[in-house]
């Protein structure tokens, strides 16, 4: 768990969808006691969090998975509870990111803290999906979902980078509406090259060649984050095809299976078993 006092630090302004601006301004001015920010990968949710915690002097506790682990355990929540018992002169903010990978035991321990809130103690939970989070926790939070940015916003953002027209088009396709991802792909050529390979492999899965898809699964079964990226690119491609020609039953089945695989990967399930959802028709 990382902790420290945050106030007055330079904060990069998040790029947000127009419809999200009023609610983000509201929670910046008046931070809820318990806030759940729901944002898919690639949005500026981390910058929103920094904006919230820097809006006034704050003692910040950030809880992430320990090194080489994929979950947030009950011991981390119990340790937090001990730390926030002491007197504080500034507002205290607990940031749990990602909240969706807390174990059930950790969530139940957190729930007790939310049920008996201390004065001057605020919680910010960050998650890509609310599904793994207990309903009792969700009910005690103000839930704010972030949306994708517009094409006009994306084009303005990427115009600040010196890129070929081909690179611009590929990035806008792969990272559509996700400013953090646009910046990463525009600034890191190796990351863009990886996404090009992911796109090639996603096309193979879309081609409904089960044998080839099974071989691909073996290649991605050792890296959870790369497997999630593959699913993201696959869903992007299906969405693009659906806008042009409509969605057929096979594509809808693949979307459903990809979403199941993604959720299982985020819940620390076997990578290979999760990805098998993409190969079995």
Task: Using alpha carbons, select from 265, 254, 272 the residue that is nearest to residue 207.
Answer: 254
Q: Is 90 exposed, middle or buried (0-12, 13-18, 19+ CB in 10 A)?
A: middle
**Could you tell me if 11 and 51 are in contact, meaning their C-beta atoms sit under 8 angstroms apart?**
yes
Lowest mean pLDDT among 18-22, 44-48, 133-137, 215-219: 215-219
The answer regarding whether domain 2-145 maps to CATH 1.10.230.10 reads: no
Q: How many CB atoms neighbour CB 55 within 10 A?
A: 18
Q: Is the dihedral of CA 96, 100, 101, 103 positive or negative?
A: positive
* Average pLDDT of span 172-192: 97
Residue with token string 């106030």: 7
Which residues, listed in sequence order, are joined to residue 59 by a DSSP beta bridge?
Answer: 5, 92
**Could you tell me if 115 and 123 are in contact, meaning their C-beta atoms sit under 8 angstroms apart?**
no
**Could you tell me if 13 and 179 are in contact, meaning their C-beta atoms sit under 8 angstroms apart?**
no
Q: How confident is the model at residue 5 (pLDDT cuts 50, 70, 90)?
A: low
Res. 13: pLDDT tops 60: yes
pLDDT in tens, 72-117: 999 999 999 999 987 778 899 999 999 999 999 999 999 999 998 8
Res. 148: pLDDT tops 60: yes
Task: Using alpha carbons, select from 174, 188, 181 the residue that is nearest to residue 235.
Answer: 174
So where are the chain's domains?
A: 2-145, 149-187, 189-279
2 or 181, which is more confident: 181
Task: Using alpha carbons, select from 104, 130, 143, 3 the residue that is nearest to residue 63.
Answer: 3
């Amino acid at each position: 768990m990382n902790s420290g006092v945050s106030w007055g630090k330079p904060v990069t302004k998040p790029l947000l969808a127009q419809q999200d601006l009023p609610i983000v301004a509201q929670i910046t001015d008046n931070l809820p006691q318990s806030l759940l920010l729901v944002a898919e990968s690639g949005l500026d949710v981390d910058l929103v969090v920094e904006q919230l915690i820097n809006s006034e002097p704050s003692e910040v506790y950030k809880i992430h998975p320990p090194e080489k682990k994929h979950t947030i355990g009950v011991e981390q929540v119990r340790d937090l509870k001990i730390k926030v018992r002491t007197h504080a002169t500034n507002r205290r903010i607990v940031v749990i990111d990602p909240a969706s990978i807390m174990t059930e035991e950790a969530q139940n321990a957190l729930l007790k803290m939310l049920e008996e809130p201390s004065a001057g103690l605020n919680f910010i939970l960050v998650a890509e999906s609310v599904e793994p989070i207990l309903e009792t926790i969700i009910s005690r939070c103000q839930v704010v979902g972030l949306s994708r940015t517009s094409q006009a916003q994306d084009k303005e953002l990427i115009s600040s980078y010196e890129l070929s027209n081909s690179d611009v088009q590929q990035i806008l396709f792969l990272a559509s509406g996700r400013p953090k991802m646009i910046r990463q792909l525009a600034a890191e050529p190796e990351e863009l090259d990886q996404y090009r390979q992911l796109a090639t492999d996603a096309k193979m899965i879309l081609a409904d060649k089960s044998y080839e898809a099974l071989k691909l699964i073996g290649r991605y079964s050792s890296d959870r984050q790369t497997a999630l990226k593959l699913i993201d690119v696959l869903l992007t491609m299906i969405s693009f095809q659906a806008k042009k020609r409509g969605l057929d039953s096979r594509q809808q089945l693949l979307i459903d299976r990809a979403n199941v695989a993604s959720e299982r990967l985020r819940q620390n399930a076997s990578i290979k078993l999760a990805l098998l959802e993409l190969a079995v028709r």
